Structure 1
């Protein structure tokens, strides 16, 4: 018997779909694509500007009955009209509640330039071409304490295995121009066992 193909797809319509697919190394699919039922994991695009593809919203309940591990990627939040946290809440109302393992940190100019991991509170700085990890300071830890506790409570029962089983959905911010979020999304993709 030959190797089974690991089916991983990006769902949703975005002006950056082609670039997102290239950055993550995943093909795009439509919510009604029959091959979705064999998917190992799916990445859903949620744009802070254009929202979520109406076909995804319409077919969400049927899709979620398959318990396919799903990641929601939030894009287009840089201008500040709807930020990452706001869009994650909107996704929670339109589809189902999501968990935010990372929060976006902004430079003094207001530009999103870093992510803070709510589990270990390390900051990944995307403001330079060389990405760096730094420890958070007391001010950052106080700022994210409520979000950290919320995430901790959600993961108490089964950790991120709940994601692998298709029970919980992480929402992760993505900015292609400075690569913010790409490594974090790939981390979650790597949690899904490969089939051989």
Structure 2
């Protein structure tokens, strides 16, 4: 019964769902699962390769009437034509606009290896097994300025309490192979108080 009281789910179909479920400690569900009405928070999987589950897209407006706090985990952006920022824009058109609290940084070979937090401008480096937090340099700060201002404007009304109230949706890049984005998604999951 506690699972129904403190329900947290992953929605969306992707080959990585089982791995994502294990990384985040959340069970998968379908958009038409009746237990969703009891959910505290859900994570939607959006793939830059295969898109968003069509059933989820078709039932999105009904689902959003519940104002369940929602996070979009963007996957498969590392080796395709669609990067994280592009996929976030696509999610905005297919579902509703999202906010991006992090941007992806790439190594010289083009591999996504780090995230920069747009609020404190700290970089979390996932290029090695030893994840490190490092301050950004002036070049990074200049590159992210427009995105930082956009996020700031989204949060003026009520900060991240808007997320907890189901009013705004953060999109977060996720790469299961190196855990990029796992801690960042868990940060948002932790903003939702546990009722269990």
Name stretches of at least 5 consecutive residues in structure 2 with no aligned partner.
Answer: none
Where 2:36 maps in the other structure, the secondary structure is helix
The size of the alignment, in residue pairs, is: 196
**Alpha-carbon separation, structure 1, partners of 2:82 and 2:3:** 43
| RMSD after superposition | 1.3
The aligned residue for residue 116 of structure 2 is 116
Asked whether the equivalents of residues 4 and 195 of structure 1 are also in contact (C-alpha less than 8 Å), the reply is no
Deviation at 1:4, TM superposition (A): 6.8
**1:39-78 correspondence to structure 2 within 5 Å:** 39-78=39-78
Deviation at 1:57, TM superposition (A): 0.2
Deviation at 1:80, TM superposition (A): 3.9
Name stretches of at least 5 consecutive residues in structure 1 with no aligned partner.
Answer: none
TM-score normalized by the length of structure 1: 0.98
**Alpha-carbon separation, structure 2, partners of 1:4 and 1:173:** 28
TM-score normalized by the length of structure 2: 0.98
Asked whether the equivalents of residues 4 and 35 of structure 2 are also in contact (C-alpha less than 8 Å), the reply is no
Asked whether the equivalents of residues 106 and 112 of structure 1 are also in contact (C-alpha less than 8 Å), the reply is yes
Asked whether the equivalents of residues 5 and 38 of structure 2 are also in contact (C-alpha less than 8 Å), the reply is no
* 1:84-131 deviation line (CA, Å, top 9, x unaligned): 000000000000000000000000000000000000000000000000
Structure 1 residues 80 and 8: CA distance shift in structure 2, 3 A: same
